[in-house]
Amino acid sequence: MKRFLFQEADFYGASRLIFGSKRLPVCYRSSWMHGLGYAFKENYNKNVLLHYDERRLPIHLVHNNETVDCLRSEGISAISVGAPYVYTKKFLNQERGRTIYKRLYMPAHSIGGNNQKSEHNRWRKIISKYKCDAICLSAQDHKHVLDSNINFGDVSVIRGATPSDHTSLERMATLFFSTQEVMTDMIGSHMIYAAASGANVQVISEISENYKSSGNSEKLLNSIPKKVRADYKEYYKDKETNLSNLLSSIWLTGNHSEIKEYSEFLLGVGCRKDVDTVREYLTPVSEVQKIKIISSILLEKAHSKIGMW
């Protein structure tokens, strides 16, 4: 049943951070935001902040009080508890130990349309130029590199976070807390996770190559239900503006301490609750509520799949 009910509270192992070895509920009464991509946008709404299959849940857990205010203005009640990442053991203990990787390169995902060979060659050039000793790839890219026996020389090839892998958040925390510097040519949550973990984040000049043209990925948009497609189209529409916003932001104009402080704010470190409280938010209060939540989620998923709304 849980395979069909996969919820935001399960992404990257968030629920395991809260329930530990305890048995996980069949469903959760809360959504729990995991992404931070919205932080790089000027405008966003509830249909982007909250997963479209979970907007009817009783509780919505978000990162910080500003997000609570944003959703309240759109008629959605939310509670700030911090991002799932701030509940990892490494982050809770601030365990910056021995540096394993001096420079970690995190490229954009390439699976789904881009020419793989040209991407691999591009990655090699960047690794060489910035003297990186590791590259962190999406799960699909990582699998493709291993299956194709792609050689990056004396460079560690690391698998990034995977939604259904409950070890993802702890793995990424271990990675960032043991990395000195993260080099990236893509806009995303990884920048915030890394900076809050004490790694220096450097946006490399090659980022412009990934944001040359405006427009959307039609393949991506077609995978999104019709009921929210217009909101996502607006959200993704202008790559050049997104890049311009980034280049004029603290990520390029601030120092490491300022970026770390800003990242901790975005992650909601100051809003973090005790684990028992979050577990209570996530657990249905009765069998009746559990049945209602399961029915609601399955109905939303079914309607989304067949495009009824």
Please state, in angstroms and as integers, the Cα–Cα distance from residue 132 to each residue in 28, 64, 127, 174, 256, following that order: 41, 34, 5, 18, 19
CA–CA dist 89, 87 (Å, integer): 6
Q: What is the mean pLDDT of the chain?
A: 87
Look up the pTM and report it. 0.89
Q: What pLDDT, in 10s, does the model give residues 253-299?
A: 889 999 999 999 999 999 999 999 999 999 999 999 999 999 999 98
DSSP-derived 3-state class of residue 158: strand
Please compute the mean of the pLDDT values over residues 46-68 and round it to a whole number. Answer: 89
The answer, yes or no, to whether residue 171 has pLDDT greater than 90, is yes
DSSP assignment of 233-261 equals HHHHS-HHHHHHHHHTSHHHHS-HHHHHH
Q: Long-range contacts for 203-210 (Cβ within 8 Å, ≥24 apart)?
A: 203/246, 203/247, 203/251, 203/252, 204/126, 204/130, 206/122, 206/126, 207/243, 207/246, 208/243, 209/122, 209/185, 210/108, 210/185, 210/186
Which residues are paired to 135 by β-bridges? 105, 157
| Amino acid symbol at 72 | R
